[in-house]
Amino acid sequence: MDPDAPRTTPIVALAGGVGAARFLSGLVRAVAPEDVTAIVNTGDDCVFYGVHVSPDVDIVTYALAGRIDRARGYGLEGDTTAVIETLGALGHETWFRLGDRDFAHCQHRSCRLAQGVGLAAIADELRRALGVATRILPMSEAPCPTIVELSGRRRVHFEEYLARDGAPDDVEGVDLSAARAAAAAPGVLEAIAAARVILLCPSNPVVSIGPILAVQGVREALREARAPRVAVSPIVGGVPVKGPADRLLRGLGIEVSARGVARLYADLLDGFVLDQRDAAQAAEIEALGMRVCAVDTLMRTPDLATALARTALALARTAR
C-alpha cells in the first residue's frame, strides 16, 4: 500500500533504546510495520560536537531500518569515525562515539531545528529517509534532559553518567523535572488515545520509560486509554540484561526485580510479561491488578524477539 496513505495506528509502543529496538524489530515482523507507532524517550538527547543527538530515537530508527551496529547496540553498522577522530586531534573530548553517517543524521536534525522544524517532523524525515515504515515519535519536542544525582551533590546528564563515567553505583536520585514540565510532541497523546494495543517495551524503567511517563498528559492518557496495556519486563532473573537499570533502581530505593518494575507501572497496566526465570513472582504481580505471562524474554535472535512480541500481543488480547 501507499506508505503515505493515512491509516490508523493501532499499536503504540513506549520505547527506550537498545532493549526497545530489539523488541520493536521483533514486533514489526509479527504485525504490519506501518501499524506500529513508537513513542520514544528523548531524555537522553544532548548536543555533542555541535549537533543535536537523539540517542534512543536514532537507535530505534537504525534498528528498524536493519542498519544498527549489532555489536555496539547503537550507531550504524560499518560507520566510520573520521569526524570524531579529527575533533579529538583538535583537543575535543570524544567519549560520545558518534560515527560519520550518524553525525550527518544529527547534523540534519540540527539544521532542521534551526529552520524551525520540530523534532517530531525531523524524526519522521529521518525514518522515511532510512526506509522505515513504522512511525517514530519523540515523546516531546521540548528539551527534557534526564539528570542523574550522585553522591556528593553531583548532578550529571544521563549520557555523561552512562557513556562518559561508565554508570557508577552511587546514584541518589534521578531528576525528571524537565520532562514533567514538557508538553507531549504533536501526535503522542492522539496516538495513545487511538491505539488498539499499548506496549511498554523492555526498556530501562527509570531513564527510558520513566521520562516518557513524566511528560505532561502521557501517564493520564495511558490510564484512560481504551486499549489494553502490556509491559515486558527488562529485568531477567533479577538483573538487567544490559545497562545500568539495577544501579538506577537501587538508587531510587526500588527493588531490582520484575516485581519492582511492575509496581512502577501498576496504575496503568493490564498485563505484564515477565521472564520464566522470575515466574515465582507471578502471583504477587497479579495481585497488583494485572494479568501475567511468564516466558523466555531473552531476545537472543530476531525469531525470539518476534515470539516475545507475539506473547505480549496475545496477553493484550486477553488482559482487558
CB of 5 to ligand GDP, least distance (A): 30
User: Nearer to ligand GDP by C-beta: 25 or 204?
Assistant: 204
Q: How many CA atoms lie within 13 A of 136 on its CB side?
A: 35
Coil/strand/helix, residue 271: strand
CB of 156 to ligand GDP, least distance (A): 16
Look at strands 271-275 and 229-232 and give their pairing. parallel
Partnered with residue 231 across adjacent β-strands are 200, 272
User: Nearer to ligand GDP by C-beta: 87 or 171?
Assistant: 171
Which of 11, 13, 14, 19 forms a contact with ligand GDP (CB under 6 A)? Answer: 19
Number of residues that bind ligand GDP (CB under 6 A): 23
Stretch that binds ligand GDP, among 14-22, 64-72, 114-122, 147-155 (CB under 6 A): 14-22
**Cell 540534519, located at residue:** 108
Stretch that binds ligand GDP, among 19-27, 188-196, 217-225, 285-293 (CB under 6 A): 19-27
Q: Does 260 bind ligand GDP (CB under 6 A)?
A: no
User: Nearer to ligand GDP by C-beta: 228 or 243?
Assistant: 243
User: Nearer to ligand GDP by C-beta: 87 or 106?
Assistant: 106
Beta strands in 143-295 (DSSP E): 147-150, 154-157, 171-175, 197-200, 229-232, 235-236, 239-240, 271-275, 291-295
Using CB under 6 A as the binding rule, the residues of this chain from 299 to 318 that contact ligand GDP are 299
Which of 20, 98, 106, 197 forms a contact with ligand GDP (CB under 6 A)? Answer: 20
Question: Amino acid identity, residue 61?
Answer: T
CA angle in degrees (0–180, nearest 5) for 303-73-117: 105
**Mask 57-96, x = binds ligand GDP (CB under 6 A)?**
----------------------------------------
**Does the CA dihedral 289-293-296-297 come out positive or negative?**
negative
CB of 286 to ligand GDP, least distance (A): 19
Residue closest to 314 by CA, chosen among 246, 232, 257: 232
- Cα separation, 301 vs 299, in Å, equals 6
Using CB under 6 A as the binding rule, the residues of this chain from 179 to 208 that contact ligand GDP are 202-204, 208
Q: Does 17 bind ligand GDP (CB under 6 A)?
A: yes
CB of 44 to ligand GDP, least distance (A): 6
CA distances from residue 177 to 9, 43, 266 in whole angstroms, order as listed: 30, 11, 22
Using CB under 6 A as the binding rule, the residues of this chain from 220 to 259 that contact ligand GDP are 232-234, 236, 240-243, 245
Q: What is the 3-state secondary structure (H, E, C) of 142-170?
A: CCCCCEEEEHHHEEEEHHHHHHHCCCCCC
CB of 65 to ligand GDP, least distance (A): 17
Residue closest to 237 by CA, chosen among 285, 204, 280: 280
Kindly list the residues in this chain that would bind ligand GDP in the complex (CB under 6 A): 16-20, 22, 56, 202-204, 208, 232-234, 236, 240-243, 245, 297-299
